[in-house]
């Protein structure tokens, strides 16, 4: 269990299969060590209501909210930096960064203006009109972070933001994030065992997260239950498995006949 924060903005209690307990203070930078991954960070952001336990974000008990309300609140307050592969290669850097704003209904011009602002803060505005394939690994990391921060969240969660970068590139990225934390009151939670990240963070919390259980395989259909094939020939209806379903033939306004199941479609509610 982590040292409780005096002013927690994000708190988990008996969270997940391993009953994780942690508290992150507002404006704090915390490094999570151990087996944390992006799936755990998404759950910690409140985006996945399937995880058991208590979860509080800005004092709001997310575990008591309905899934839709929980998801809306989590998306407004938390951002999980996408993996590099989640950037869309067919879009420019600027379009990738502005996309989350456009999906919320914001106008394209305002979305592009805000995207440029975050690209400037993360030292990536020089490649705004480039495609993802033209970026270096360090530039790609900064663009992924800009895309996560463009919604101005209170909490940023990221998995291994410095993975694959040179020492100079790691130092540059961490310096930029530290500046964003100070100027915007941003709280940052990173899952990383990188010594540079651990030294950069205000605090390190060792977290053990169990691997997710494999999804149960779907039960095979009984062999004696026939699967209805599409009807391409009206004569095939004679021996079709669905012949026992009651149907009604109605006349369309233009004189054609319409064949529909009773109680489906327009029949509902009558």
For residue 13, name the pLDDT band (cuts at 50, 70, 90).
very high
pLDDT at 6: 67
Query: Which CATH number, 3.40.50.300, 3.20.20.70, 3.40.50.720, 3.40.50.1000, labels domain 8-91+149-207?
Result: 3.40.50.300
Axis-axis angle for helices 93-103, 137-149 (nearest 10):
20
**What is the b/e burial string over 69-106, where b = at least 16 CB atoms within 10 angstroms of the residue's CB?**
ebbebbbebbbbbbeeeebeeeebbbbbbbbbbeeeeb
Closest by CA position to 161, among listed 139, 145, 178, 184: 145
User: Which tens digit of pLDDT belongs to each residue from 52-98?
Assistant: 999 999 999 999 999 899 999 988 999 998 766 688 999 999 999 99
> Terminal CA-to-CA distance of the chain, rounded, Å?
59
130-139 average pLDDT score: 94
Grouping H, G, I as helix, E, B as strand and the rest as coil, residue 203 is strand
pTM for this model (two decimals): 0.73
Strand order in the sheet with 8-15: 20-25, 8-15, 54-57, 60-61
> Rounded CA gap, 43 and 40, in Å?
5
SS3 for 132-149 is HHHCCHHHHHHHHHHHHH
Closest by CA position to 119, among listed 89, 91, 87, 141: 141
Closest by CA position to 108, among listed 94, 121, 118: 94
For residue 182, name the pLDDT band (cuts at 50, 70, 90).
confident
Please check the confidence at residue 12 and state whether its pLDDT lies above 90.
Answer: yes
Contact 148, 81 (CB under 8 A): yes
Please check the confidence at residue 266 and state whether its pLDDT lies above 60.
Answer: no
Both tokens of 43, joined, read: 């759950």
> What DSSP character marks residue 215?
P
> Rounded CA gap, 120 and 163, in Å?
22
User: Which tens digit of pLDDT belongs to each residue from 189-238?
Assistant: 999 988 999 999 999 998 877 644 333 333 444 444 444 444 444 444 44
Axis-axis angle for helices 108-121, 167-184 (nearest 10):
120
Please check the confidence at residue 131 and state whether its pLDDT lies above 90.
Answer: yes
Domain boundaries, the chain: 8-91+149-207, 234-267
What phi, psi does 209 have (nearest 5°)?
-120, 125
């Amino acid at each position: 269990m982590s040292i409780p924060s005096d002013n927690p903005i994000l708190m988990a209690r008996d969270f997940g299969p391993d009953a994780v307990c942690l508290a992150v203070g507002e404006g704090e930078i915390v490094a999570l060590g151990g087996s944390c991954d992006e799936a755990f960070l998404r759950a910690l952001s409140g985006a996945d209501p399937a995880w058991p336990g208590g979860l509080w974000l800005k004092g709001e008990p997310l575990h008591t909210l309905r899934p839709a309300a929980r998801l809306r609140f989590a998306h407004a307050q938390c951002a999980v930096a996408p993996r590099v592969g989640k950037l869309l290669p067919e879009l420019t850097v600027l379009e990738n960064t502005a996309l989350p704003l456009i999906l919320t209904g914001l106008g394209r011009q305002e979305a592009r203006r805000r995207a440029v602002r975050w690209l400037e803060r993360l030292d990536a505005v020089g490649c705004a009109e480039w495609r993802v394939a033209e970026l270096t690994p360090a530039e790609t990391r900064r663009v992924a972070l800009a895309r996560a921060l463009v919604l101005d969240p209170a909490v940023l969660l990221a998995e291994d933001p410095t993975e694959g970068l040179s020492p100079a590139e790691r130092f540059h990225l961490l310096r930029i994030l530290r500046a964003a934390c100070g100027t915007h009151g941003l709280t940052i939670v990173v899952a990383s065992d990188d010594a540079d990240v651990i030294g950069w963070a205000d605090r390190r919390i060792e977290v053990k997260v169990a691997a997710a259980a494999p999804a149960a395989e779907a039960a095979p259909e009984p062999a004696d239950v026939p699967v209805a094939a599409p009807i391409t020939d009206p004569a095939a209806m004679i021996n079709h498995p669905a012949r026992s379903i009651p149907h009604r033939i109605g006349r369309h306004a233009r004189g054609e006949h319409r064949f529909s199941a009773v109680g489906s479609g327009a029949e509902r509610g009558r």
